[in-house]
């Protein structure tokens, strides 16, 4: 009964490189959400996806950031040309449906930019 | 847009005392309000949630109350234990303007002193 799986747990990149974060939702869940958390701060919504569709990307920067949830495989959050300010913990959550369906979180990916 | 205010930002209690955390929201259409507990370096864990059709929900030592008219909801922890020490986040599910997302408060760091 695996929960939400994220990898890698820790990722170190140099400025200008690309970061790819992966998220496999809980079994049976088809709704995926990505959040960013800075130290000592709350969770900020980035993007909401269903299989092959981006439903709401209002929290994701227009440049350098993209997300996908293909028909097969995990959801991917991609950050191109990373900068120091991208350093944060990135959490993925999944749910059975939208609205009042509980969201369950993965362990997160801690991204550090050198 | 939707805003969730959470107070206090830090809370220190003695073991066995009660702890209360309060949140207010601005989107009158919000109908789902979860609470998450996050220990240092760990994932946010859903501990209790409430939907707008009820005013109170209880699960052992944890209870949540909701006042839709005043747009505020509260988390109550009774008989606190040292293992309750963590950061607690409230959230409100927003559906304004076609957006579908959880908006989180900034968190309350709870310390239970033995």
Closest-CA distance, B46 to chain A, in angstroms, reads 7
**Contacts with A55 from chain B: Cβ below 8 Å:** 100
Residue B84 backbone phi and psi in degrees, to 5: -80, -10
Residues of B with a Cβ under 8 Å from any A Cβ are 31-32, 34, 36, 42-46, 49, 51, 89, 91, 93, 95, 98-107
Which residues, in sequence order, are bridge partners of residue A7?
A22
Cross-chain residue pair B100–A102, CB shorter than 8 Å: no
Cross-chain residue pair A56–B46, CB shorter than 8 Å: no
Q: Which residues of B72-91 are buried (b: 16+ CB within 10 A; e: fewer)?
A: bbbbbbeebeeebbbbbbbb
Q: What is the pLDDT along chain A (114 residues), one digit of tens a residue?
A: 579 999 999 999 999 999 999 999 999 899 999 999 998 788 999 999 998 899 999 999 999 999 999 999 999 999 999 999 999 999 999 999 877 889 999 999 999 999
């Amino acid at each position: 009964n695996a929960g939400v799986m994220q990898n890698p747990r820790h990722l170190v990149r140099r400025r200008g490189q690309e970061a790819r974060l992966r998220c496999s939702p809980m079994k049976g869940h088809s709704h995926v959400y990505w959040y960013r958390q800075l130290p000592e701060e709350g969770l900020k919504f980035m993007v909401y996806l269903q299989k092959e569709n981006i439903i709401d990307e209002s929290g994701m920067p227009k440049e350098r950031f993209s997300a996908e949830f293909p028909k097969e495989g995990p959801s991917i959050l991609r950050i191109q040309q990373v900068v120091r300010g991208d350093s944060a913990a990135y959490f993925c959550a999944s749910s059975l449906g939208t609205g009042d369906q509980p969201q369950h979180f993965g362990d997160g990916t801690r991204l550090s930019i050198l | 847009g939707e805003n969730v205010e959470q107070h206090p930002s830090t809370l220190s209690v003695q073991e066995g005392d009660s702890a209360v955390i309060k949140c207010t929201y601005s989107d009158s259409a919000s109908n789902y309000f979860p609470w998450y507990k996050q220990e240092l370096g760990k994932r946010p864990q859903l501990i209790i949630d409430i939907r707008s059709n009820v005013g109170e929900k209880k699960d052992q030592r944890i209870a949540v109350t909701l006042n839709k008219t005043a747009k505020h909801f509260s988390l109550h922890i009774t008989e606190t234990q040292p293992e309750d020490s963590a950061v607690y986040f409230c959230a409100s599910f927003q559906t304004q303007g076609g957006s579908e997302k959880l908006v989180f408060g900034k968190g309350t760091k709870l310390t239970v002193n033995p």
